[in-house]
Amino acid sequence: MKANDAQEMLFEIQARFAKAETEKEFDAVMQDFYLLQNEIDTWIPRISIGHYYGVMGTIRYVNNVAQARKALIESREQADKPA
């Protein structure tokens, strides 16, 4: 795996997080995100530590986007529940 490929896949996952409307959809994307992180942790450091840390910045960013989306989904689902 190349660092550029990893960056591109991370941005695709970010777009999927943005489209997630339910916790089920969110959880499916999160599982893919964790799998990609594991693959990145396995392959990128073997190629270049510098590239690895560059990709890690993107991982942190996508994770922040994911957490914000999760909070939004949870608040919507709470608002939809009858009192």
Q: pLDDT tens-digit profile of 3-27?
A: 788 899 999 999 999 999 999 999 9
In angstroms, the CA 78 to CA 80 distance is 5
In angstroms, the CA 62 to CA 55 distance is 11
Sorting pLDDT into bands at 50, 70 and 90, what band is 83? Answer: low
Number of domains in the chain: 1
HSE-up (13 A, CA, CB side) for residue 14? 14
Q: Is residue 83 part of a domain?
A: no
Q: Is residue 57 part of a domain?
A: yes
Sorting pLDDT into bands at 50, 70 and 90, what band is 47? Answer: confident
Q: Quick one: average pLDDT of 21-41?
A: 93
Percent of all residues in the chain with a pLDDT value above 70, rounded to a whole number? 96
pTM metric for this prediction: 0.81
The boundaries of the domain holding residue 22 are 3-78
